[in-house]
Amino acid sequence: MTIRELQDEIIRLKKAKGVCILAHAYQGQEIWEVADYIGDSFGLSKKAAEVKEQTVLMCGVRFMAETVKMLSPQKKVLLANPIAGCPMADQMDTDLIAQMKESMPDYTVVAYINTTAELKTICDVCVTSSSAVKIIRNIPNDKILFIPDCNLGDYIAKQVPEKELKLVRGGCPTHLRMTKKDVERARKEHPDAEILMHPECHPSIVSMADFIGSTTEIMAYAEKGTGSEYVIGTEKSIVEHLGYKCPEKSFYPLSKDCVCHNMQATTLMDVYRAVKGIGGEEIIMSDELIAFSRKCIDEMLRLGK
């Protein structure tokens, strides 16, 4: 079977079985081409709740499938490849954060969406990389405990200096692979290019970027921008996707090592097997877990208005 034949079979099966396929932006181009919606984890979860299909297949990592389930508890939610986790989401121990919360009663606990459903149950407000600054500005309390990404936390703290942000040591191992040397090399090799960077990168290099934004914001900036060359400081798949979207522009990875092996674990064959009903994993969450974990997401929606 060729890639094209497999894609055609996935498209035929998803229509016949009423499956909506969601792909996070970091999935490969061959998965993008069979997806109904592409985006970031929160955008996809909102889409999943709106679509008529009663089965939703998430091509991404586990916390994303959990978020889909929280917002669509009545739907059958599948994770295309059960081994695809997020090391950052798995970094924080719920009991430890619960202890911190107890010892800091005057702090509002804000969680990046890249956290497990279990951890979300003890958090007050959830944020995404694109909504974090706005949401935190809108929280009435000035004292914030931000988990789990201290790099994103540092970026937010600089944007919202009026708030006191306490950070914990956590972060995305993929984005931390990019270094100052990579930025210096990119400036030398591509002097006319703008460097676009995700705030999950280390603060020492975020300060060297021309534009800082979430994956969706980086893509929109590069697509709409008048420049012809861009260096992409986020997961390497975005370089390829932008190349397909804007073939007349040149895109370079800030580092060839910025690859999320969890995101890349999902293959087109995994998607096929999950749509066919012989693969993937159904996300099962108790009513209690759904109710408690989605409270911080509802709070994000309220504060984001």
Within 184-203, which residues bind ligand 13P (CB under 6 A)? 200
| Residue closer to ligand SF4, measured from CB, 70 or 172 | 172
The letter for the amino acid at 285 is: M
By CB under 6 A, residue 115 contacts ligand 13P: no
CB 1 to ligand 13P: min, Å:
30
From CA 10, how far away is CA 1, in angstroms rounded? 12
By CB under 6 A, residue 266 contacts ligand 13P: no
Pair of tokens at residue 50: 């709106």
CB 39 to ligand SF4: min, Å:
14
| Residue closer to ligand 13P, measured from CB, 10 or 110 | 110
Q: Please, what is the angle between helix 268-276 and helix 3-17, to 10°? A: 30
DSSP 140-206: S-SEEEEES-HHHHHHHHHH-TTSEEEE-S---TTGGG--HHHHHHHHHH-TTPEEEE-TTS-HHHH
Within 129-148, which residues bind ligand 13P (CB under 6 A)? 129
For strands 143-147 and 164-167, give the pairing: parallel
CB 276 to ligand 13P: min, Å:
27
CB 269 to ligand 13P: min, Å:
22
By CB under 6 A, residue 172 contacts ligand 13P: yes
CB 173 to ligand SF4: min, Å:
6
101 three-class SS: helix
From CA 230, how far away is CA 232, in angstroms rounded? 6
- Given ligand SF4, ligand 13P, none, residue 55, with its beta carbon under 5 to 8 Å by kind, binds none
DSSP 113-145: SSS-HHHHTT-SEEE-TTTHHHHHHH-S-SEEE
C-alpha closest to that of 150 among 88, 210, 218: 88
| Residue closer to ligand 13P, measured from CB, 11 or 176 | 176
Among 45, 72, 215, 266, binds ligand 13P (CB under 6 A): 215
- Given ligand SF4, ligand 13P, none, residue 90, with its beta carbon under 5 to 8 Å by kind, binds none
User: Which residues of this protein are in contact with ligand SF4, per CB under 6 A?
Assistant: 61, 86-88, 114, 172-174, 235, 260, 262-263
In contact, 285 and 294? CB cutoff 8 Å:
no
Within 30-89, which residues bind ligand 13P (CB under 6 A)? 40, 86
- Given ligand SF4, ligand 13P, none, residue 124, with its beta carbon under 5 to 8 Å by kind, binds none
The structure tokens 């508890």 sit at 73
| Residue closer to ligand SF4, measured from CB, 7 or 88 | 88
- Given ligand 13P, ligand SF4, none, residue 128, with its beta carbon under 5 to 8 Å by kind, binds ligand 13P
Pair of tokens at residue 48: 């999943």
Q: Find the Cα–Cα–Cα–Cα dihedral 81, 119, 108, 295, rounded to 10°.
A: 80
Residues interacting with ligand 13P, by CB under 6 A? 25, 40, 86, 114, 128-129, 172, 200, 214-215
